Amino acid sequence: MTLNPEPGNAITHAADSLARAYQSDLRQPALIRERILRQVVDLGLASGRAIDVGCGDGSTTASLAAVVPERPVLGVDISAAMIDAATANFGDLADFEVGTFEQMPVEPSSAALITALNMWHLVVDREGALREASRVLKSGGLLAIVGALREDLAIQTIHRLFPAFHRISYGRHQSRAQLTAMAELNGLRPILFETVDFEVPLGLPSQVVELVAEKPFFDMRLMTDADFDAGFDAFRHDLSELPEDEAVTTPSRCSVVVFSVGEA
Ligand SMILES: C[S@@+](CC[C@H](N)C(=O)[O-])C[C@H]1O[C@@H](n2cnc3c(N)ncnc32)[C@H](O)[C@@H]1O
């Protein structure tokens, strides 16, 4: 088995540094997120707990808890700083523990559902993560991977206006075919594939510049400073051409891919 990502690697470092300022709604507005999770749960769940892996500041775990109110919910994240934030924000709704997708702090065959929102592109050992999902899920259990796949990136204004950001994201995000082939090789059967379109409000152009200057997305923190600075200068210039008093809303799209473990 490939080793767990070590604490202190680039992803953990980026997550630790982002934890206090993390904004889940930049990925999907909360209402969209909850609608997606409801749709997943409506597929039918085995008995057992629900796990939100890569839970970040706990916003997605809270949405999950809202759609499975009768079940224990656990949020897991590689970053201790994210787990601290999640516990402070939503410790009354769910338990939170440090762990990784590749190695979760749970018993075999104990979960009905694993959700992974907006984090699959950051997983270092994806095959290890899929094997771990098979270990942790009960027969009939579901794994829901939600977030941008490679095909979903080009629509977003930030990706269009910031080509260096698009380039690094393109390299990290799997295509639909890559994800489903890898999952099938690791014993997971795709049962739902959907794309969801929505709008993300970003604020006035000057606020968008301030927002992006803070590198609110992991892929921005994983670029070299030189690449970020060059891309950001051009991005700022493009935004300065927009009317200053009109709020910017970016179209966005994510994929919802649900896999089942065990017999059909
Ligand atoms: C973009 S955030 C998503 C957080 C939350 N799910 C959301 O949608 O708002 C990605 C999260 O995944 C975590 N992460 C990255 N790689 C991980 C791994 N291999 N195992 C567990 N968590 C991981 C990061 O620490 C970060 O908190």
The domain segmentation of the chain, as residue ranges, is 10-150+173-199+253-261
> What's the gap in Å between 52 CA and the centre of ligand 1?
10
- Listed in sequence order, the residues at least 6 apart from 103 whose beta carbon sits closer than 8 Å to its beta carbon are 4, 128, 132
Find out whether 33 and 105 touch, Cβ atoms under 8 Å.
Answer: no
Say whether pTM exceeds 0.75: yes
Between strands 73-77 and 137-147, the pairing is unpaired
- Residue 179: name the closest of 104, 116, 222, 221 by CA: 116
Residue of minimum CA distance from atom 11 in ligand 1 = 54
Q: 144 pairs with which residues across the strands?
A: 115, 258
- Note the pLDDT of residue 3: 37
User: Residue 92: what residue type?
Assistant: D
Q: 143 pairs with which residues across the strands?
A: 114, 259
Task: Categorize the per-residue pLDDT at 262 as very low, low, confident or very high, splitting at 50, 70 and 90.
Answer: confident
- Note the pLDDT of residue 263: 67
Is residue 145's pLDDT more than 70? yes
Range with the lowest mean pLDDT among 18-32, 114-128, 139-153? 18-32
Cα distance between residue 58 and residue 23, in whole Å: 11
Residue of minimum CA distance from atom 4 in ligand 1 = 56
From the number of C-beta atoms within 10 Å of its C-beta (0-12, 13-18, 19+), residue 31 rates as: exposed
Cα distance between residue 43 and residue 142, in whole Å: 9
Reported as a single tens digit per residue, the pLDDT across 13-29 is: 889 888 888 888 999 99
Residue of minimum CA distance from atom 18 in ligand 1 = 100
Ligand 1 atom nearest to CA at 82: 27
pLDDT, average across residues 186-199: 96
User: Residue 183: what residue type?
Assistant: A
- Note the pLDDT of residue 116: 98
Is residue 79's pLDDT more than 70? yes
> What's the gap in Å between 248 CA and the centre of ligand 1?
26
Find out whether 133 and 114 touch, Cβ atoms under 8 Å.
Answer: yes
Between strands 137-147 and 248-261, the pairing is antiparallel
Ligand 1 atom nearest to CA at 217: 1
Cα distance between residue 85 and residue 22, in whole Å: 9
Ligand 1 atom nearest to CA at 52: 6
Reported as a single tens digit per residue, the pLDDT across 86-123 is: 999 999 999 999 999 999 999 999 999 999 999 999 99
Residues enclosing ligand 1, CB less than 6 A? 5, 11, 15, 24, 27, 53-56, 59-60, 77-79, 82, 100-102, 117-119, 122-124, 218
Reported as a single tens digit per residue, the pLDDT across 35-55 is: 999 999 999 999 999 999 999
Q: Which two tokens stand for residue 153?
A: 């990136």
In degrees to the nearest 10, what's the CA dihedral of 27, 28, 33, 39? -100
> What's the gap in Å between 121 CA and the centre of ligand 1?
9
Residue of minimum CA distance from atom 15 in ligand 1 = 122
- Note the pLDDT of residue 55: 98
Mutate to test the pocket of ligand 1, among 34, 77, 89 (most ligand atoms within 8 A of CB): 77
The phi and psi torsions of 143 (rounded to 5 degrees) equal -115, 120
Task: Categorize the per-residue pLDDT at 5 as very low, low, confident or very high, splitting at 50, 70 and 90.
Answer: very low
pLDDT, average across residues 192-221: 94
Cα distance between residue 254 and residue 19, in whole Å: 22
pLDDT, average across residues 250-262: 95
> What's the gap in Å between 161 CA and the centre of ligand 1?
25
User: Residue 243: what residue type?
Assistant: P
- Note the pLDDT of residue 264: 63
Topology of the domain covering 10-150+173-199+253-261: Rossmann fold (3.40.50)
> What's the gap in Å between 71 CA and the centre of ligand 1?
22
> What's the gap in Å between 55 CA and the centre of ligand 1?
6
